[in-house]
Amino acid sequence: MTQTVSAPALEMRGITKRYPGVVANDGIDLEIRPGEIHALLGENGAGKSTLMNILYGLATPDAGEILLDDTAVTIAGPADAIARGISMVHQHFMLVPVLSVADNILLGEETMANPIFLDRREAHRRIVDLGKRFGFDIDPEMKVESLSVGWQQRVEILKALYRDARILVLDEPTAVLTPQETKDIFLVLQRLADEGHSIIFISHKLFEVLEIADRITVIRRGQVVGTRIPSETNEDDLAELMVGRNVQLVVDRGESHPAEPALTVNDLRVTDDRGQESVKGVSFEVRAGEIFGIAGVAGNGQEELVEALTGLRSPTAGQVSVAGKDVTRHGPRALQQAGMSFVPGDRHRFGLVLSFPLEDNLILTQYDEAPYSRGMVRNDAAIRAWAKQAIAEYDIRTPSATVTAGTLSGGNQQKAVVAREFSRKLTTLILDQPTRGLDVGSIEFIHRQVVAKRDAGAAILLVSAELDEVLELSDRVAVMYRGEIVAVVDGPTAEREDIGLLMATGRRGAAAEAALVAATHVTGPGVEA
């Protein structure tokens, strides 16, 4: 890893930011050196996002200063940050799928041959040269929607480099990547560091941070609580530093004792928003007292499958049964009454009403049931009591139960959804990315709750882009590739690399390795897996 002794590329000194009822950043000092990959760790609500928003000009600090190359600067907004060589790659890619790679990179940064015509030839040359320089060839005319998630990540990085970024902030860059894609991205990041770029790497995957980072800074409750060198620390130490207590990183799931099938799916076919068949004759069953995991790279039909199972999308063919009852085209309300709970992958679209108070979001699926209502009359005391209990039990970081859900951090929004859905009386639990954006302490807690629900007899379907999560929790693992289930394996004995290859190619062993090499290193970016 690259280590230098030159002046810092970036210093943030005494950064303080207050919001009503909370101090998000409390005198934070952060130093980033040229050519350094610097990891930033912290719990949900610790202040990482606020600190990066200040750096990127999305928020103004109440105190403190920012120095670039030993010069104090005021960053007025994202355009100002970009002009100063600071770029941010967000967890949810900011790409337009129907546009080409070149068009996405050029949006807002068009190279003009004259005031009327875009010099596409020069732009293409720069894009191709940048790609080759950092270890990947890419066709600028390829549509982004045809690219795998790993290649879309590269496009985001290329977009930043095209704007001459010297400081690159990466927010959860490997959240939806396969193990093989993660290795490729790490090679790109190391090349960037070797050329003098400074990288701030935000992640909840401690083993990745230890592999890629030169230094690690940990923030807890708005303050820096430590900086570590990877060779002098480990996952347990970092987790304890983040949370302030000992954390069990892998929950003991014990043995499952599955009973009869509670959720049965037969030859299900579903089309996406473009009318293309994204789920192609999928069949499986989830038994009571079992966690059935589905692994797969994003975009392989998992989203449409989950929507069809939860009443958000109507299948074109096939059958879905819960406890032996056909519920194929039932709506969400009917499925809830049948004993199904659902933690959606997109909490903003399907999990919360962001303009509603937190306490109302905690009863969205039970607002008309006792004790939260008496006939047509709302029982505010019962709602308030449950909100207080949920906030404490699920460690939802909030000034009060009456603040709107939209003001909470993403991780705390996710905890609110999980608290609501896990508290219901249920027989079937569908979890879509249940710990997305959560810190190690919250993940430990939720994983314990999932195992407890299984041991209480619930049938649990777990869909996650986090392969480690699927392998750690699942009693059986299915791999979904291009709309089909290509394998079902025993969870406790499943091999991580084998599942990763299945996710990337739909095949196992040497043939899969050869196909992956051909797709990523010979012919350029592969089609969305």
For 335-365, the pLDDT digits (tens) are 998 999 999 988 888 999 999 999 999 999 9
pLDDT at 249 over 80: no
The position carrying tokens 């799916």 is 265
Res. 505 pLDDT band, cuts 50 70 90: confident
Range 118-137 average pLDDT? 81
**Nearest by Cα to 38 from 207, 198, 190:** 198
Residues forming a β-bridge with 489: 477
**Nearest by Cα to 529 from 505, 512, 511:** 505
pLDDT at 47 over 50: yes
pLDDT at 330 over 60: yes
Query: pTM for this one?
Result: 0.70
For 446-477, the pLDDT digits (tens) are 899 999 999 999 999 999 988 889 999 999 99
* Contacts (Cβ under 8 Å, ≥6 apart) of 516: 180, 501, 504, 505
pLDDT at 86 over 90: yes
Res. 43 pLDDT band, cuts 50 70 90: confident
Range 293-301 average pLDDT? 89
**Nearest by Cα to 430 from 349, 346, 341, 364:** 341
DSSP letters spanning 244-307: SS---SS---------SEEEEEEEEEEE-TTS-EEEEEEEEEEETTEEEEEE--TTSSHHHHHH
**Nearest by Cα to 66 from 38, 29, 41:** 29
The class of domain 10-243 in CATH terms is alpha beta
Note the pLDDT of residue 216. 97
Q: Which residue has the higher pLDDT, 514 or 95?
A: 95
Residues forming a β-bridge with 89: 170
pLDDT at 115 over 80: no
Paired tokens of 502: 């299945």
Res. 51 pLDDT band, cuts 50 70 90: very high
Paired tokens of 104: 């996405």
Buried b (16+ CB within 10 A) or exposed e, 213-234: bbbbbbbbbbbbeebbebeebe
Range 506-520 average pLDDT? 53
- 223-228 vs 215-220, strand pairing mode: antiparallel
Note the pLDDT of residue 4. 45
With pLDDT > 90 as the criterion, what percentage of the chain qualifies?
Answer: 52
CATH 3.40.50.300 positions along the chain are 10-243, 261-339+426-522
Note the pLDDT of residue 5. 55
Note the pLDDT of residue 116. 52
Res. 524 pLDDT band, cuts 50 70 90: very low
pLDDT at 33 over 60: yes
Torsion sign over Cα 167, 169, 174, 177: negative
- 317-322 vs 325-326, strand pairing mode: antiparallel
pLDDT at 513 over 70: no
Cα–Cα dist 398/45, whole Å: 9
**Nearest by Cα to 528 from 295, 292, 301:** 301
| 3-state DSSP assignment of residue 522 | helix
pLDDT at 232 over 70: yes
Lowest mean pLDDT among 297-301, 425-429, 490-494, 519-523: 519-523
pLDDT at 277 over 90: yes
Q: Which residue has the higher pLDDT, 434 or 177?
A: 434
Paired tokens of 72: 């104090």
CATH architecture for the domain at 261-339+426-522: 3-Layer(aba) Sandwich (3.40)
Res. 184 pLDDT band, cuts 50 70 90: confident
43-52, 145-154, 364-373, 377-386, range with greatest mean pLDDT: 377-386
Note the pLDDT of residue 118. 63
Note the pLDDT of residue 112. 46
Cα–Cα dist 447/252, whole Å: 9
Note the pLDDT of residue 110. 55
Mean pLDDT of the chain: 87
Note the pLDDT of residue 522. 34
Range 112-138 average pLDDT? 74
pLDDT at 46 over 90: no
With pLDDT > 70 as the criterion, what percentage of the chain qualifies?
Answer: 92
pLDDT at 405 over 60: yes
